[in-house]
Amino acid sequence: MLRFPYSDDEIRRRLRLGEDSSWEFKAVEFRGDSDSPPAHARVSWAEEIVAFANGSGGAMLVGVTDEGEVQGMSRRRLDAVERLVVEVCTEAIKPPARVEVHRFELDGRSLLLVDVPEGDAQHEAHGDAFIRLGSTKRRMGPEERVRLAQRRGLARSLGYDERTVPGTGIGSLDERLWRRLLSAEALRAPEVGLKKLGLLAADDQGVVRVTVAGVLLCVEEPHVHLPNACITAVRYRGADPSTGQIDAREIQGPIDRQISGALTFVTGNMRVGARKDPARVDLPQYSLRAVFEALVNAVVHRDYSIAGSRIRLRMFSDRLEVCSPGSLPNNLTVESMSARQSTRNEVLVSVLGRLSVGELPGAGGRSYFLERRGDGVPVILRETRELAGKNPEFRLVDRAELQVVVPAAATDSARASVVVTARCGGMPLQGADVLALFPNNTWKRATTDRWGEAAIELHSVHLPMTVFVAANGCSAYVKRDWIPASGPLAAELEPLPEGGSVLFPEASGRIPGLSGGLDLGLDSHGRTYFYASNIAVNDGQLQPVTFTPGSEELRLTDAEGVTVKATVTAVVGRSSLLEYRPA
């Protein structure tokens, strides 16, 4: 679509050159002092707009003679002409044409520019379809109309990244960029290979053009064709923009290079602390794995059809934000993002699934930019919580922009000794087994003394911990999201005569009184399961046995005939907590 405003010199140049395939001049003949355009203008204007909409779009200058002379109109006449244009587009054209109307003044004379984009359907005026041919229009024949309707119907079913970009061709692509995407066999006929990938396609006139995806992936400067196809990155001094900027950059180039450039920006602008354990351990503000996933999602799933909007990367003292233009696609909601996946740009997703990521920080050992669809949001959630102890936020602003907000982690080492107190039946519990798990599922273990206290050395007291407490003769105890800095933890266990509880720090362990062992864990889908060694489960159930923590009682029998009933109370990472009693 043509964009306005043009400079005065551009308009003068166009008036000197005259009409062509993209420009039409329309004089307006007002009768006497009347402010209304003549009735016959309605028919003529409708046909011209239809011809542009059925082709590649164009502009109609209203108030200009065929010779390029600007007539000039009063404010009232401009109002009347604009009203007529709107009526023509909404009433005389089927389906209605979408146009932009601009008023401007040239050398003291006012005129209107009607900007007509390429339509997404076959348009008609009073039952006829027209097409632009040079500086004239002509009526389309039946076969032409069928072909146009078929092409437009197909275009509506295409994603925006599959649409062609006017004025481009295979020569617009950078060979170094597209060669990396083709197999040795496809390189023998690269145009065919690029069409199969969706990077080239024929436009409405059958001319091979570069698609939006092709521009984003295989053109050295995509912003020349797609002005907003870039990332604006800013680092602020404090927690809001009013604190001023420390660093700012416009990151351009093919989208894989934009991702790399944005990661470099984050790496160079985030704080990194350290602690000794006993070797140096870095304490970065952000997980580069989470940032990588947020950037890939933004670049792949943004709405490239929105003019005037670009991806924004904003770093504050307490958070990082990745803002991506567009609403969520295909009825996806913010609440369902971690469980469902939906794609707006299928070509980009497909090609990035075969584009090598190299040694890019944050890639997490993967080979390609996209490997498993739907993994991005869960990774952002997990990585952020493990590092910062807080969940990231996903916000949809005015149904026009998706924001991912990643909280910053503390970069100072807050090492301290904390105390967990265990009591059973109101009495201090000596010998209780205590396991404190960090958000990243690493853990520290301790045993309570005669006062029921267990001292645990932690490298940070600001992260939310999960605490398991187990003891023979007592129920299992679980505390989630305990912040050690908030104070000591008191665990109250209930007496469990002839039974008790036990914890397995690393997947496997034994229940007191049973001669065999158990091996518990989580599969790749987050489902809990276990294997039993020399123990029958539920009188011979096939293994592995799946279960729901906290709600299923399992019957376990060893080779000596000893039987207990056990419930897996909780599973976190490779650690688990069980409660048992005699059968």
Q: What's the pLDDT at 474?
A: 98
What is the C-alpha R_g of the chain?
34
Higher pLDDT among residues 462 and 506, named by residue: 506
Higher pLDDT among residues 206 and 89, named by residue: 89
Q: By percentage, how much of the chain surpasses pLDDT 70?
A: 96
How much is the mean pLDDT over the chain?
Answer: 91
Average pLDDT over residues 534-544: 93
**542 in Cβ contact with 500 (< 8 Å):** no
Q: What's the pLDDT at 3?
A: 45
Average pLDDT over residues 128-147: 89
**pLDDT surpasses 80 at 110:** yes
**pLDDT surpasses 60 at 549:** yes
**pLDDT surpasses 60 at 277:** yes
Q: Which of 33-37, 163-167, 238-242, 433-437 has the lowest mean pLDDT?
A: 33-37
**pLDDT surpasses 90 at 9:** no
**78 in Cβ contact with 167 (< 8 Å):** no
**pLDDT surpasses 60 at 411:** yes
Model pTM? Answer: 0.66
Count helices and strands (H / E) in the chain. 11, 36
**pLDDT surpasses 70 at 1:** no
Could you tell me the pLDDT band of residue 522, with boundaries at 50, 70 and 90?
Answer: confident
Q: What's the pLDDT at 284?
A: 93
Residue 521 β-bridge partners:
529
Average pLDDT over residues 365-374: 82
**pLDDT surpasses 80 at 413:** no
Rounded to 10 degrees, the C-alpha dihedral 205/208/209/215 comes to 160
Q: What's the pLDDT at 333?
A: 81
- Concatenated DSSP letters of 453-510: EEEEEES-SSS-EEEEEE-EEE--EEEEEE-GGG--EEEEEPEEEEEEEEEETTSEE-
Strand order in the sheet with 109-116: 23-26, 58-62, 109-116, 100-106
**pLDDT surpasses 90 at 196:** yes
**323 in Cβ contact with 396 (< 8 Å):** no
Give tens-digit pLDDT for 216-269. Answer: 999 999 999 998 899 999 999 999 999 999 999 999 999 999 999 999 999 999
Packing angle, helices 288-301 and 255-269, rounded to 10: 150
Structural domains of the chain, with CATH:
8-147 (3.30.950.30), 158-224 (no CATH), 231-407 (3.30.565.60), 416-582 (2.60.40.1120)
Give tens-digit pLDDT for 250-261. Answer: 999 999 999 999
Could you tell me the pLDDT band of residue 365, with boundaries at 50, 70 and 90?
Answer: confident
Q: What's the pLDDT at 2?
A: 38
Query: In sequence order, which ranges of 201-320 are alpha helices (DSSP H)?
Result: 212-218, 255-269, 288-301
Average pLDDT over residues 489-506: 96
Report the b/e string of 568-581 with b at 16+ CB within 10 A.
bbbbbbbbbbbbbb
Q: What's the pLDDT at 209?
A: 95
Give tens-digit pLDDT for 14-32. Answer: 999 999 999 999 999 888 8
Q: Tokens at residue 109, please?
A: 């004379």
Report the b/e string of 463-482 with b at 16+ CB within 10 A.
bbbbbbbbbeebbbbbeeeb
**93 in Cβ contact with 50 (< 8 Å):** yes
**pLDDT surpasses 50 at 343:** yes
